[in-house]
Structure 1
Amino acid sequence: MELTKSLWTESDRIPFLDYLKSLKNNEKEDWARKMLNTRLPLLVLPTPRVNEMVKAIQKGDYFSFLELNIDDYYETIAIQGKLISMISDFEIQSKYLSTYIYKMENWAHVDIMSFTNIEMYKQKFIHLSDEYILSDKPFIRRLSLMILFQLVKDPKILPTFFKRLNQLKDETEYYVIMMAGWLLSECIIKYKDETLAWLKQNDLNEKVQNKGIQKCRESRRLSQIEKDELLAYKK
């Protein structure tokens, strides 16, 4: 099917879905469902194939594709997420994000959001993160942390990372805690002295702190001595 279109219309919906269904991998569906922990219908399309589709759609009028809101499968929502994360104009991107965040049904719908314009609109993304962390939806809170994770190379934002982690004192959702642990581990690895000094002065969520220490101890970026020293920070 030709995916690079000058305009997507409602008449393209069924042919597009038929094309996707023709690629379905029935053999791996049970495995993929367990891995993603999703209740959505699954096609189990290989990630490289999905990425090829995204690139082809993006070469045309992909905004008209997004307007179709093809939400039938895990993969069709993932394709939307990938396209939205590639939008260069933040205001337009925000418009589509405001709908997409309520479609996110599993951790992968969050983790595919690699924002190509995040450095250009750093402060606006931080404001989004501030907003999303207050949501009652766990995957929106996970996206709040995912946004900061993509900014972790900037030492000037370290206080923001610490503030965000402190906001999770009562967090109980597994997928939020996992992402918070990843963020904490990155802070420790990249800004070890500052982060450990902060940990000593703050009563962090026990599960977040222990997950962060665990991820550090699994990393190849720290020496064994450094890993052993982190055991003192386990709760």
Structure 2
Amino acid sequence: MEYKSINWNRENYLQFIEKLKSLKDEKYLEFHKKLVTTNSEIIGIRSPIVKDIAKNIAKGDWRKFIAQEIKGYYEEIFIRGLIIGYIKDDKNIVKDEIERFLPLIDNWGICDGFVANLKIIKKNREYFFDYLKKLIKTEEEYKVRFVLVTFLSYYMEKEYIEEIIKLCSQVKNKSYYLKMAQAWLISILFVKFPERTLEFLKDNSLDPWVHNKGIQKIRESIRVTKEDKELVKTLKK
């Protein structure tokens, strides 16, 4: 179906939702429900299909699409997030849309998939870094996870490492998915900057669970040498 030519209104938006429901894959639904905890109803549509739909909508009047009231389906929300990554627009507009979208995230799946599609951040690192530094100070779980995953996805460069280590250390929220994001970030830091991350692991104010989970993820990485895996093992709290 060609979505790029639709002049979105409430009537055709509701027809769109019915179309999404018709794309349900029961096996994928059962699989996905085991992976993601969300307050939204999961229809069960495979990711390549969802991405194709979002890409098509982004070529048309995407503003009218996202202006429609949300019905509350997982894929519906994910499509809105993906559209933001696909639109060819000014970085200021994209940042505004990111801000509007973040409150809709209540699970790691949409959070991480949203980040993965925001290629514009890689091209405008400095511009978005100031925004991310402010955003990480919030107490909202998935806004902070968004920042941490964005760091490990687009900011693993020497000029950002010291600030990222500092900001990661300041996250004290005890939610599971935030702590997992911290640990994931630490493991990627080690892959990219082993010596600096080793210093950090020797002396930090991280939650012990985060510290040890970070070491576990380092030891699970195929990009870390056997010797380094043994070394970090000795630094567990």
Question: What is the TM-score when the length of structure 1 is the normalising length?
Answer: 0.92
> Match for residue 217 of structure 1?
219
Q: SS in structure 1 opposite 2:139?
A: coil
C-alpha displacement of 1:79: 0.5
* Aligned mates of 1:78, 1:120 — CA distance in 2: 23
Residues 100, 69 of structure 1: CA spacing in aligned structure 2 closer, same or farther, 3 A cutoff?
farther
Q: SS in structure 1 opposite 2:120?
A: coil
Deviations 1:126-157 (A, max 9, x none): 22222222222211110111121122331110
> Match for residue 130 of structure 1?
133
Deviations 1:19-68 (A, max 9, x none): 11111233443432231112311111011111111121122222221222
The two structures, once aligned, show a CA RMSD in angstroms of 1.7
* Aligned mates of 2:206, 2:18 — CA distance in 1: 49
Instruction: Show structure 1 runs of 5+ residues with no match.
Output: none
C-alpha displacement of 1:180: 0.8
Aligned residue pair count: 234
Query: What amino acid is the match of 2:84?
Result: I
Deviates more, 1:121-130 or 1:75-84: 121-130
Deviates more, 1:5-14 or 1:157-166: 5-14
* Aligned mates of 1:2, 1:10 — CA distance in 2: 18
Residues 94, 152 of structure 1: CA spacing in aligned structure 2 closer, same or farther, 3 A cutoff?
closer
* Aligned mates of 1:33, 1:39 — CA distance in 2: 11
Deviates more, 1:192-201 or 1:136-145: 192-201
> Match for residue 157 of structure 1?
160
Percent of residue pairs bearing the same amino acid type = 29
* Aligned mates of 1:141, 1:179 — CA distance in 2: 9
* Aligned mates of 1:202, 1:136 — CA distance in 2: 21
Looking at secondary structure, tell me which structure has more helix per residue: 2
Instruction: Show structure 2 runs of 5+ residues with no match.
Output: none
C-alpha displacement of 1:81: 0.7
> Match for residue 228 of structure 1?
230
Q: Is the 8 A contact 1:33 1:39 kept in 2?
A: no
Query: What amino acid is the match of 1:9?
Result: N
Question: What is the TM-score when the length of structure 2 is the normalising length?
Answer: 0.91
Q: SS in structure 1 opposite 2:121?
A: coil
